[in-house]
Chain A
Amino acid sequence: MSSVQIRDVRKSFGNFEVLHGVTVPIEDGQFVVLVGPSGCGKSTLLRMLAGLENITSGTISIGDRVVNNVQPKERDIAMVFQNYALYPHMTVADNMGFSLKLRNAGADEINKRVKRAAEILALSPLLDRYPRQLSGGQRQRVAMGRAIVRDPQVFLFDEPLSNLDAKLRVAMRTEIKELHQRLKTTTVYVTHDQIEAMTMADKIVVMHDGIVEQMGTPLELYDKPDNQFVAGFIGSPAMNFLKGHVRVNGVATFEGPNGVKLPLKTAPAASDGRPAVYGVRPEHFTIADDGAEAEIVVVEPTGSETQVFAKIGGEQVVAVFRERHQFNPGDKVRLKPDPSLVHLFDEATGKRLNA
């Protein structure tokens, strides 16, 4: 186990720069998730950490050692690939023991470590099978087993769950998190799925277009997104955004589309008339007499909660209620955002305005 320092790392393919100076400190034993839409550079960063891509500038260190010019096999890291990259001509046991075999470990040693990893991952009955004879979830576990057997400094995961069906994905998510709690190995995990990021991470790094938008614990990002991108990316259903202006005449309010008045707890200093974006999470709406008038468009019950799509001032928003309201499309209701939980962003830069 060790810490990982990524300092001002840049990556160019030819003249095209895909990472514009990324700095991510990772503590020993931390589970860090790199998340972002496709093309944001998260996989490239992971591959640079693994040594599969060169580093154009900046430094990456594992422990106290700068690894920019260290061969992948000397970095003491293990990686789980999106397509698992299991060796099709080797049994599960041989797949898992391959790295030890290359390091000339004795047969007993290999056997012992493969068995131990197989027990951790419940693979013991499958050790003599070939990858072809395994289900998707089993292959996924073998890929992790191959990483565990090596007992590396750092685990790298490159979208490991994206080839699984929805149900299995949830199960494996828990399994990976449990595994990390047990082994406490520093882990860097890449995904485009914000729910995976939220549920698994100690620290989330949100990336977008080759830069880090924000990093922090899942709840920090959820409760206090630095900018509109992070606010919209984290959370499902996504945060509602309404464009309008800040009004300060005695009481701070927000004037939304078509003059709809929305509550604000405080307004930033000297911001009367300032164009801004008002952000409110779906679960922070309540039905209240002093709320903004809204017309219900679609009601989607999921059992545990109900998602209500409605129009405020002509703009569609989504609200989530745990209570079972009897709404019908066309009904007029009054939706009130909780003023202490709303977010305000600069319209031009997307930066957070309220504290």
Chain B
Amino acid sequence: MADVAIPRAKPQMSEDNAWTQLKHNRNWLGFWFMVPAMAFLIFFLAYPLGLGIWLSFTDTRIGRVGHFVATENYEWLWDDSIFWLSVFNTLLYTFIASALKFAIGLYLALLLNENMPFKAMLRAMVLIPFIVPTVLSALAFWWIFDSQFSIISWSLKHLGVINQNINFLGDTTWARICVIFANIWRGVPFVAITLLAGLQTVSPSLYEAATLDGATRWQNFRFITYPLLTPIIAVVMTFSVLFTFTDFQLIWAMTRGGPVNATHLMATLSYQRAIIAGQLGEGAAISSAMIPFLLAAIMVSWFGLQRRKWQQGENND
């Protein structure tokens, strides 16, 4: 384009004040756009995390400002058998529930990926446990596993299988089985629906190609579905493990950690010590003790994800 020869008064740079310059600086503009997200992360994630870690090094109680006591809280916990029991419970709970959630979730996803009547309705129904508020479903389970009014005990008695009610939430082994069962019931939809989404990204022509190559249905799963699903499995299982490890609502509503601390998880123990008993410092130390476990879980999936070279971009090395 030719410059039109109309003299135009150019804005003089010297007249620009600092404010105008700031308004036009792209870096500043970028910064302002980031502020809301940053503020959100700082106030709701970084600050509570930092505060929790700080509290774990103090002897703060509810209503009393604490003093820095270094690692004293942790030393106490080291000799606390209930703390170690809660660590054991948490690991057991997480491991069994996650493994079963994965197995059942994958099975359901594969099933729902098939062509069948009422597919859309069945998919929606699978989500039900996920959309019911946790506390509500926990209350329902509380009744299902009630020592007097349990529908399971009632049914089994009427079928003549047992003579006495089963003390579901009063027996240590039964209580553990019950809370794990409730957690699985609640967690399966998340795994199933996410894996189903992953399954649907696999092109049907890959299965056709594999079938022509001579693959059986099992080999189709083993060599096509499973490897292509691994990235999604890694993500969904990381989340599943993190959610299960930090579970609080379900346990608190069903057993409050009982009987005899058999279902106390680190989260529930932390709540009991910090809020109920008022020992904020000690409770914070229990919470902070969860961090290494969670980091380990994230690292496993991180390195698991990184190994998959076939996913990485268009680079022609």
Roughly how many angstroms separate A98 CA and B203 CA in the complex, as a whole number?
17
Q: Are A81 and B208 in contact (CB under 8 A)?
A: yes
Tell which of A85-93, A180-188, A234-242, A301-309 binds the partner. Answer: A85-93
Q: Are B314 and A102 in contact (CB under 8 A)?
A: no
Q: Are A133 and B214 in contact (CB under 8 A)?
A: no
- Tell me, rounded to whole Å, the shortest Cβ–Cβ distance linking A75 to chain B: 8
Nearest A residue to B231 by beta-carbon distance?
A: A89
- For the complex, is A65 an interface residue (Cβ under 8 Å from B)? no
Within 8 Å CB of A130, what residues of B? 309-310
Interface of B is mostly: helix
Q: Are A85 and B209 in contact (CB under 8 A)?
A: yes
Q: Are B213 and A102 in contact (CB under 8 A)?
A: yes
Tell which of B137-145, B172-180, B221-229 binds the partner. Answer: B221-229
Which residues of A125-152 have CB atoms within 8 Å of chain B's CB atoms?
130-133, 146, 150
- Tell me, rounded to whole Å, the shortest Cβ–Cβ distance linking A45 to chain B: 16
| Contact string against A for B residues 277-317, beta-carbon threshold 8 Å, 1 for contact and 0 otherwise | 00000000000000000000000000000001111111111
Which residues of A71-118 have CB atoms within 8 Å of chain B's CB atoms?
72-73, 77-79, 81-83, 85, 87-90, 98-99, 102-103
Which residues of A45-62 have CB atoms within 8 Å of chain B's CB atoms?
50-52
Assuming the contacts A50-B212, A130-B310, A132-B313, asked whether A87 and B205 have C-beta atoms less than 8 A apart, the reply is no
| Contact string against A for B residues 186-226, beta-carbon threshold 8 Å, 1 for contact and 0 otherwise | 00000000000000000101101111111100010001100
- Tell me, rounded to whole Å, the shortest Cβ–Cβ distance linking B5 to chain A: 42
- Tell me, rounded to whole Å, the shortest Cβ–Cβ distance linking B232 to chain A: 13
Roughly how many angstroms separate A102 CA and B222 CA in the complex, as a whole number?
11
Roughly how many angstroms separate A32 CA and B198 CA in the complex, as a whole number?
38
- Tell me, rounded to whole Å, the shortest Cβ–Cβ distance linking A60 to chain B: 15
Roughly how many angstroms separate A138 CA and B314 CA in the complex, as a whole number?
13
Roughly how many angstroms separate A97 CA and B317 CA in the complex, as a whole number?
23
Nearest A residue to B312 by beta-carbon distance?
A: A132
Q: Are B205 and A99 in contact (CB under 8 A)?
A: no
Roughly how many angstroms separate A329 CA and B207 CA in the complex, as a whole number?
56
Q: Are B212 and A89 in contact (CB under 8 A)?
A: no
Which residues of A234-264 have CB atoms within 8 Å of chain B's CB atoms?
none
Q: Are A133 and B315 in contact (CB under 8 A)?
A: yes
Instruction: Report which A residues bind B (CB closer than 8 A).
Output: 50-52, 72-73, 77-79, 81-83, 85, 87-90, 98-99, 102-103, 130-133, 146, 150
Instruction: Report which B residues bind A (CB closer than 8 A).
Output: 203, 205-206, 208-215, 219, 223-224, 227-228, 308-317
14 example contacts (A-B, Cβ-Cβ < 8 A) are as follows A72-B211, A81-B208, A83-B203, A85-B203, A85-B205, A85-B208, A87-B209, A88-B228, A88-B311, A89-B228, A102-B223, A130-B310, A133-B315, A146-B213
